[in-house]
A and B are shown apart, each in its own frame.
Chain A
Amino acid sequence: MTATLELRCGRALNDALTQLFEERDDVYLLGEDILDPYGGAFRITQGLSSRWPERVLTTPISEAGLFGVAAGMALRGYRPVLEIMFGDFITLGFDQIVNGIGKFREMFDDQVRVPLVVRTPMGGGRGYGPTHSQSLEKFLLGVPGITVVAANEFQDLRSLVREAVGDDSPVFLIEHKLMYGRPNRRPQSGYLGEFDALETSERYPALCLSSNGFDRAAATIVTYGGLVSAAVDAAVELVVEDETFVEIVALGQLLPLALEPVLESVARTGALVTLEEGTLTAGVGAEIAARVQEVAWTDLRGPVRRIAAADRAIPAAGLLEAHTLPSAQKVVDTVRSIVRDSVR
């Protein structure tokens, strides 16, 4: 099957939004440049404003205010979907996120719900430079009261968007720029290509992949979002070049963090690698490592290895950017070093 015949991820997201607009009239779309014919900077909202002009609101460049506007609509019973053009711009909304959206339900003693969805593309690989390439979801993980979901190209993206819009909790749906143009590949009959594939049953499922039928393997790689494909590429290379087998846990929900599939995998592999595109310090991997060692210390043969972006600004120049961000090669190298260490 060639990629052109498959549903691309960007189109899957667009389909999902279109279907939701057809089904319910409490869904509104807000964002910058989302009207036709432009249809959003990444074209995810194309077609919606033509069919539902009254429910698709193009907005001024006012991210800080927009998070509040979406919150206000959600407080009064609507289900706004807010598109933030680049994930880097969520920084502008942090007061609303931390002091409003994440707190209203609890501090108002459960009298209200804030059922909004924020969709935003994170990630590099396009040479957009320091302020349009970041993966800032780790900052959201410090905000109790919100749900953070990471999309990847192997998920049922239509279901993911549907669940997010139907969720009474504020949901931050983290997409990846590189994902939009890739085919939305799904496991078939328990397999994803040459991998055994298991999906958990949560609202935002985790996808567990194994290159040897979930038998004993050298390491577990826990990742999410745009780097799931890098983990898959690395796993293929490790089988082909080294006959080393790994398991991949691709998290769907980052907050609240549910690590059962990771713990189950680590019980089989005894080694854990975390892989994220955000900067290393105080990252998602740090939180996962802390939690895994708290409950699975005796399962681990060695320290948890973290792969993340370097703690620096992401350069614009392609080679420099590639040097800064994680890659399949870094995963391969890390797993090889784990294998070497266990042999010693």
Chain B
Amino acid sequence: MVSCSDAVLAEEFHAPPALAPSVSGWSIEQLYEQMVLIRRFEESLLELFAAGQLLGTTHTCIGQEANAVGVLSHLEHGRDVVVSNHRCHGHYLAFTGDVDGLLCEVMGREGGVCGGKGGSQHLCNDGFYSNGVLGSTIPVATGIALAERERRSGALTVAFLGDGALGQGVVYESFNMASLWELPILFVVENNFYAQSTPIRLGLAGEIAARGRAFGIKTAQLATTDSTEIQRVAGAVISRIRRHSRPFLLVLDTYRLSPHSKGDDVRDAVEIQDAWTRDPLHLAAAHVPSAVRSAVDAACEQRLTDAIQRALAAPPARPLG
């Protein structure tokens, strides 16, 4: 069994509270299935690009899937809110399950969830919002959390950002307001140690978790790609936010196994190779019986093959009105 015992919780964070999260979270089989779906979806996108079937760009989260599934397994589509960034496909699929809507959107076909107007980075689907300017999404998420708090909807807002977005001032304005106004929002920093091509040592001073603490925001940091571990901690954190209506900063140290975008990777090959040993799919697979795994793999493959067929057969996005 592969286990990651290097979870580093900041000093304020205590063991999971007695109160269970409102959504119980997925089983390891479900976590594995969701991650396979996200992985194969994005690999398929890269293949479609290579085959000239796609226009534009895409930012895959290959290697980071455990964050999306571990956190979002505790949320309810239709009630809770997810605000994501340019690297949003994993979050979108884990939250909505909408393979066809996303595929058609990225491919510019009719049936795309935003009619082909948004494309890869600008998605919207019943409580899911993503946008492409780094950091800009964080005040919007803060306003959403304020609205949901005022409405007493019980909705929790999760805002994903990367370590690169920590260079943006509005992130700290938002941390300040979220803490000041005691908003029920979870900020998830997916720290993959690179801002596009720039390593974190050239772009970030100090510690990430300290940024939350400076604003009086409870903070936890995990250095793992084990989806069950992320799910466990996220469950405790989310339960805490739901109980106390206070913001929380969850820092997830991770690694992007794929290039930033399509073929623009200048990172050290040995470093990348080493990170593959912590591939979240392999870690989860170790806990899933091989027969189940084969069935899940085959089902995801079939689901994607069918979706791609449908998308390729679909007419182009409807003309502008």
Contact = CB atoms under 8 A, between A and B. Distances in A.
A99 B140 contact: no
A75 B117 contact: no
SS class of chain B's interface: helix, strand, loop or mixed? helix
B76 to A, nearest CB: 16
Nearest to A55: B150
A78 interface: yes
Contacts of A66: 139, 173
A95 B133 contact: yes
Residue with the highest number of chain B CB atoms closer than 10 Å, among A73, A99, A104: A73
A60 B151 CA distance: 23
Interface in B139-156: 139-148, 150-151
A60 B180 contact: yes
A25 to B, nearest CB: 10
Interface string B169-208: 1100110110011000000000000000000000000000
Interface string B109-143: 00001110110001111000101110011111111
A108 B118 contact: yes
Nearest to B113: A109
Contacts of B151: 76-77
A77 B151 CA distance: 10
B118 A68 contact: no
How many A residues touch the partner, as a band?
20 to 34
A95 B136 CA distance: 7
A154 B162 CA distance: 50
B147 A73 contact: yes
A298 B123 CA distance: 48
A205 B236 CA distance: 55
B117 A96 contact: no
A274 to B, nearest CB: 31
B114 A71 contact: no
Nearest to A76: B147
Contacts of B143: 68-76, 80
B115 A68 contact: no
A44 B317 CA distance: 47
Contacts of B144: 72-73, 75-76
Contact of A68 (B113, B140, B147, B148): B140
Given A62-B173, A107-B118, A75 B139 contact: no
A68 B138 contact: yes
A37 interface: no
B131 A72 contact: no
Nearest to A77: B147
Interface string B242-284: 0000000000000000000000000000000000000000000
Interface string A128-168: 00000000000000000000000000000000000000000
Nearest to B176: A60
A152 B124 CA distance: 38
A5 to B, nearest CB: 40
A64 B170 contact: yes
A40 interface: no
B233 to A, nearest CB: 26
A68 B117 contact: no
Nearest to B121: A107
Given A64-B173, A65-B139, A107-B118, A72 B146 contact: yes
A181 interface: no
A16 interface: no
B177 A72 contact: no
Contacts of B138: 65, 68
A72 B124 contact: no
A76 B128 CA distance: 11
Given A59-B177, A62-B173, A65-B142, A109 B147 contact: no
A265 B38 CA distance: 61
A67 interface: yes
A47 B173 CA distance: 27
Contacts of A99: 131-133, 136
Contacts of B118: 107-109
Contacts of A28: 150
B137 to A, nearest CB: 8
Contacts of B181: 57
A128 B176 CA distance: 30
Nearest to B180: A60
B82 to A, nearest CB: 13
Contact of B142 (A72, A78, A104, A109): A72
Contact of A69 (B122, B125, B177): B177
> A-B pairs with the 4 shortest C-beta distances?
A72-B143, A68-B139, A65-B173, A108-B124
16 contacts: A57-B181, A60-B173, A62-B177, A68-B137, A68-B143, A68-B170, A76-B143, A76-B151, A96-B140, A96-B170, A99-B131, A99-B136, A100-B140, A107-B124, A108-B123, A109-B117
